[in-house]
Amino acid sequence: MSKVIDDFHLLNSKQRRYLLNDDEVLIDLVKSNMSMKRFLHSLAVARLAKELASYHHVDSHKAYIAGLLHDIAKEIPLEEQDAYLRYYDPIRLNEAEKIKHSHVAKYYLKDKLNFNDKDILNAIYNHTVLRSRDKLSMILYIADKRDETRNINDEVIEVAKKDLKKAVELLIEKWKEKKIYLDGNLK
Ligand SMILES: [Fe+2]
Ligand SMILES: [Fe+2]
C-alpha cells in the first residue's frame, strides 16, 4: 500500500474531502499505486471517458475520475483482494482473478480514502463485468477497452460517441468472435 493512502487516516473528513477534490492529488495517488504502464493506461482511460461523456450529457469530470481510479486495486496482492471481498462482498469471492480488482476497488476507495461518489464507485465496480448499464458504467467499460495505450483502431469509439449501448454490444460481439479486447494484460 502506498504511503499516500496510508496517511489518509490521519486526516479529518474536511481535509480528506479537500484532497479528494484535487485532481492532481488523485493522479499522484494513482501513480504511486501501480506500474508506469498501468498508470499511463489509467490516464488514457480517464481522457477517453471524459471525451465520451461529453457526447452523452454525462458529468465529464466524474467520467475522468472514474477512468483515473478504475484500476487502483489491480496491483493489490490477490490475498489482500480476497480479504476485502470476504469482508465486504463475499458473493464475489469466486470471480475470476482478473475480475476481482474491479469489485475490490470500490471497497478500497471507500475504506482507505473515504471516497463516496456512488456513481463513480458503481462504474468502477462494473468496469470488468458490465452488470449495470447506466451511462457512466458503459462509458468507463468502453474507455477501458479502447484507450489509446491498447492501440486498437476500430469503429468502437466512433459508435460510442453516438450510441453507448451499441458500442457495448459491439465490444461483446468482438470479444466473442476474436477475443481482441479481453486478452490484454491490462484489463
Ligand atoms: Fe481493470
Ligand atoms: Fe483498465
Query: Residue-wise pLDDT tens for the chain (187 aa)?
Result: 455 666 777 788 788 777 788 888 889 989 999 999 999 999 999 999 999 999 999 999 999 999 999 999 999 999 999 999 999 999 999 999 999 999 999 999 998 888 889 999 999 999 999 989 999 999 999 999 999 999 999 999 999 999 999 999 999 999 888 765 554 444 4
Q: How far is the CA of 42 from the centre of ligand 2 (A)?
A: 6
**Residue 47 included in any domain:** yes
The answer to whether residue 39 is domain-embedded is: yes
Residue 186 lies in a domain: no
pLDDT tens, residue by residue, 100-114: 999 999 999 998 888
Q: What is the CATH number of the domain that holds 96?
A: 1.10.3210.10
C-alpha of residue 129 to centroid of ligand 1, in Å: 10
The confidence score (pLDDT) of residue 86 equals: 97
Question: How many angstroms does the Cα of residue 131 sit away from the middle of ligand 1?
Answer: 14
Report yes or no on 138 lying in a domain: yes
Of the listed ligands, the closest to the CA of 147 is: 2
The CA distance from 178 to 132, in Å, is: 24
Q: 146 near 172, Cβ under 8 Å?
A: no
152 alpha carbon – ligand 2 mean position (Å): 14
Range of the domain at 97: 3-178
What is the CB neighbour count within 10 angstroms for residue 170?
17
Q: Note whether residue 185 is domain-resident.
A: no
Determine the distance separating the centroid of ligand 1 and the alpha carbon of 80, expressed in angstroms.
Answer: 16
Spacing, Cα 15 to ligand 1 middle (Å): 29
Classify residue 183: in a domain, yes or no.
no
Residue range 157-173, pLDDT digits in tens: 999 999 999 999 999 99
Residue 187 domain-assigned? no
127 alpha carbon, closest ligand: 1
Q: Are 146 and 157 in contact (CB under 8 A)?
A: yes
For ligand 1, the distance from its centroid to the CA atom of residue 74, given in whole angstroms, is 6
Kindly state whether residue 19 falls inside one of the protein's structural domains. yes
pTM comes to 0.90
Q: Looking at the CA of 150, name the nearest ligand.
A: 2
Q: How many domains does the chain have?
A: 1
